[in-house]
Amino acid sequence: MTGFARRLWALLRKEWIQMWGDPLTLRLILALPLLQLVLYGFAINTNPKNLPTGIIAAGYSKYERDLVAALQNTGYFNVRTLHSEQEGEQGLVEGKLLFVINIPADFDRSVDRGDVPSVLMDADATDPSAVGNAMSALGSLTSTLNRDLPPTVQTQIRSPPFQFVIHARYNPEQLTVLNVLPGLICLVLIFSTLFLTTLSIAKERERGTMENLLATPVRPVELMIAKIVPYVFIGYLQVVLILVVSTLLFALPMRGSLLLLMLALGLFIISNLALGLTFSSVATNQMQAQQMAQFTLMPSFILSGFFFPFSGMPQWAQWVGELLPTTHIIRVVRGILLKGSSFDQIVNDLWPIALFALGAIIVSVTFYRETLD
């Protein structure tokens, strides 16, 4: 064996031993493609079904029952009865409903007279891809009452017995950019805040400066606050820059409170920074910390409803998505910017973010305490 071969063999053996000596990193590297395979294979659905739909009807006449049955048979609409228009409006603003259908009081009589009554549908168009196919399916439903029409009406050559009038709410032109930009704000914050703190403690450990910190009387919670606060300002700077550019170039509306938006995004920034500190505290080196962050990014992108409609995912994927702060902050930002949502209308999405941030801080402080022993 030549000198070159001996040296190369020694180096290869050294790298092999070093790789197997870091089992956590190896597991993360192998688990990441499996996670991508599962998420892309099972969780993604660009044609969502069973969308939450509210219906307002004066009664349950024959034609109304036929129409509701036809809506449900399409597979796109999961219909439930509403008691007032205010309930429907609240459901649309809070994101609990994607459609509100209002059947006029004299619907049966107007159909029998051949007046072609209008059935009003309000659709939440903040995510056009989520409701597009469902709205397209409405065109085939206008003839669903033909077999129940009076014989004298059936023999007449006329237009369909009724028509749908669709109001695309919050995004009348159904512009994809108005759906993408609010989510993009959240994703930019993930990249900029999560990775910054993910490497912070691991970097201190690898550089040897952790020993100096351990020798000081600094408490773990004080260290966490010191590492979070500067990056909060960086996150806010990015938010302001994105909002200004989006408003000037893409006419992104601001229908809600700017102060409320900033407070919500601040909470989201803190949750990401705290999660990054958790990874940095648990990991033994920067490579492990980066792998943990990447392991989190993929579910945050796919299961949050940014790239693919949240309502189109299977139930288990929606449960996982509800645990991620990204899912809730995207709803909050879209609600404030496009719907003008108030605090009462977004509070159900704010407290999960706050709870996630608190849990991440507790875990990171706990693991940091163990390094002091």
Q: Where are the domains of the chain?
A: 51-169, 175-371
Q: What is the CATH number of domain 51-169?
A: 3.40.1710.10
pTM of the predicted model, to two decimals? 0.78
Q: What is the pLDDT of residues 256-278, one digit of tens each?
A: 899 999 999 999 998 888 888 88
Q: Which residues contact 67 (CB under 8 A, 6 or more apart)?
A: 103, 119, 141, 144, 145
The number of residues in the chain equals: 373
- pLDDT tier at 370 (50, 70, 90 boundaries)? very low
Whole-Å CA distances, 331 to 102, 134, 306: 25, 21, 10
Task: Report the distance separating Cα 295 and Cα 284, nearest Å.
Answer: 16
Q: Kindly report the backbone phi and psi dihedral angles of residue 143, in degrees, each rounded to the nearest multiple of 5, phi listed first.
A: -100, 10
Q: In what order do the strands lie in the sheet with 118-124?
A: 77-81, 51-56, 99-102, 118-124, 163-169
Task: Please state the separation of Cα 126 from the chain's center in Å.
Answer: 12
Q: What is the pLDDT of residues 43-70, one digit of tens each?
A: 666 778 888 898 988 777 777 888 888 8
**pLDDT exceeds cutoff 80 at 291:** no
Residue-level pLDDT at 258: 92
Residue-level pLDDT at 67: 82
Higher confidence at residue 322 or residue 130? 322
Please state the rounded mean pLDDT for residues 122-132. 84
Q: Which residue has the tokens 């050294």?
A: 14
Q: What is the pLDDT of residues 63-86, one digit of tens each?
A: 788 888 888 888 888 888 888 888
